[in-house]
Structure 1
Amino acid sequence: MNHTTSILLGFILSSLLFGFLVQGKNVTFYIRNSCPFLVWPAIAPNVGHPVIADGGFSLPSGDVKRIQAPGTWNGRFWGRTGCDFSSSSSSTCQTGDCQGQLACNGTIGLPPATLVEVSLQEGVDKPSFYDVSLVDGYNLPISVRTRPTDPKCLIRGCNKSVNKVCPQELQVVNKTGDVIACKSACLAFNSDIFCCRGSYKSPQKCKPSVYSKLFKEACPSYFSYAFDAPTPLVSCSPKAFVITFCPSKWSALQYSK
């Protein structure tokens, strides 16, 4: 083997090793649609983090999409419903819309929408943190589990549809009058006492409301308001997550499209 060949072989091996190490630092997300209708998952990174999977895509009922994120990625996932991208309207989804785009490309979705919030860290000694939040409201039930499954790392879906028990003052309805989403009290009333801000910006001052209690009863594993306690935040160190829309085995009639 001559000197040039040796250098070239060394470069190839180094490149392959570097690629393996980089790939090994990725975290996999399996996005599953168990709803009896089409869902358009959306993803938005926090500031300083890259857009993954173009920020959004369509996912037919029963399908699963596999995507990857860097090992230190931070951001959010949510589901959009009732979308029509053939429309010329600036808002093409009934819930969770991101400026009318199929691929949100980092654009934040329009609330109310159930949010999965993720903060990844690399290394088994540095757990990742994640939660499901109704702080801005609800549109779909979502569960989060790890692969392999660990009961300590599971965020379950809801006991019942929030849309079915949503008070009239929080309801978002479609053209036929069906409730398709439920605002949080903060989103609906923009009040410090519900938004946990101003003089209420502490757990001691900001307490559960009749509205957050309704959310909590329906979805015990989710954040029902900003200072929900005990905290529904989960910390685990998996290499893969499964995010499922409509995980519960309810009748299809329990879901609002």
Structure 2
Amino acid sequence: MKQLTQFYASILHLLIWHLLLSGQAQGTFVTFYFRNKCPFPIWPAIAPNVGHPVIVEGGFSLPSGNVKRILVPFSWTGRFWARTGCDFTSNWKSACETGDCDGRLACNGTIGLPPVTLVQVSAQADRTKPNFYDVSLVDGYNLPVSVTARTLEPKCFIGECSKDIKNICPDELKVLNDAGQAVACKSACLAFDLDQFCCRNSYGSPSKCRPSVYSKIFKDACPSYFSYAFDSPLPLVSCTANEYVVTFCPSKWGAAMSS
């Protein structure tokens, strides 16, 4: 009887472990699907907040049209972004035109070089508790992103942009590649490093730090994103789903951009 009990205990242990690995155990994982609808390859990157684990070594390649599934553990917080124009065979310190993390494919927790469009996540796999997420242009923009939960709740959706900001970016904010193409658009804070744009010091409150002509360009093009630090109403989404799709280039913008 003791051996039989041990046998069933072993089977139960294996079953639980399988559920954990497959992300099906409630309260264990939140699933994110990264989808590349850009007409060029991208290199998504993931950076955890302090105290949270690195996921899938912090970065991977995602060819045009492909999808990659990743599992984020319970109570994980961090950020996602897409790197563009990368060449990891060059042995240069900066391997990517946007979002580079010390020239490495696997960022291993390193935060990418702005400006990039950031998806910020605070995840809980318990379906009774909401996950929180947003898309931020506080440091700038490189690609449009949409976030869709695998649920029928309309409040879970973060929409794409109505315009490609790179095409309307003021010259003083543009980031150009070696070919002279606009590959990103800096925020005013990143470009000028002034308190009034960065919402700090005497401008460190919503009443003092107001939208600028630059943040209004971002907001007009991408109304579902944070355009500056004290954006209001807060474009922060809370949703009890445990599966999400993060789509880069929902409208297939950037066809002229090189890989």
TM-score range (shorter-chain normalised) is: over 0.9
Retained in 2: the 8 A contact 1:180–1:256? no
Would you say 1:39 and 2:42 are equivalent positions?
A: yes
Match of 1:70 in 2: 73
Match of 2:11 in 1: 12
Which one of 89, 108, 111 corresponds to residue 111 of structure 2? Answer: 108
Q: Report the secondary structure of 2:140's partner residue.
A: coil
Q: Report the secondary structure of 1:5's partner residue.
A: helix
Match of 2:242 in 1: 239
Match of 1:82 in 2: 85
Shift of 1:174: 0.8
Retained in 2: the 8 A contact 1:83–1:93? yes
Residue-by-residue CA offset, 1:107-129 (whole Å, 9 max, x unaligned): 10000000000001243332111
**TM-score, scaled to structure 1:** 0.94
**TM-score, scaled to structure 2:** 0.93
Structure 2 vs 1, CA of residues 48 and 230 (structure 1 numbering), >3 Å: closer, same or farther?
A: same
Counting aligned pairs with the same residue, the percent is 63
Retained in 2: the 8 A contact 1:114–1:137? yes
- After superposition, residues 200-239 of structure 1 pair within 5 angstroms as 200-239=203-242
Retained in 2: the 8 A contact 1:136–1:183? yes
Which one of 132, 136, 139 corresponds to residue 139 of structure 2? Answer: 136
Amino acid paired to 2:9: G
Stretches of structure 2 that go unaligned for 5 or more consecutive residues are none
CA distance in 2, matches of 1:18, 1:88: 40
Residue-by-residue CA offset, 1:99-152 (whole Å, 9 max, x unaligned): 001011111000000000000124333211100000000000000000135321
Retained in 1: the 8 A contact 2:39–2:252? no
Q: Report the secondary structure of 2:141's partner residue.
A: coil
The root-mean-square deviation of aligned C-alpha atoms, in Å, is: 1.7
Match of 1:52 in 2: 55
Would you say 1:252 and 2:251 are equivalent positions?
A: no
Shift of 1:249: 5.3
Structure 2 vs 1, CA of residues 149 and 85 (structure 1 numbering), >3 Å: closer, same or farther?
A: farther
CA distance in 1, matches of 2:84, 2:71: 23
CA distance in 2, matches of 1:249, 1:10: 51
Retained in 1: the 8 A contact 2:38–2:252? no
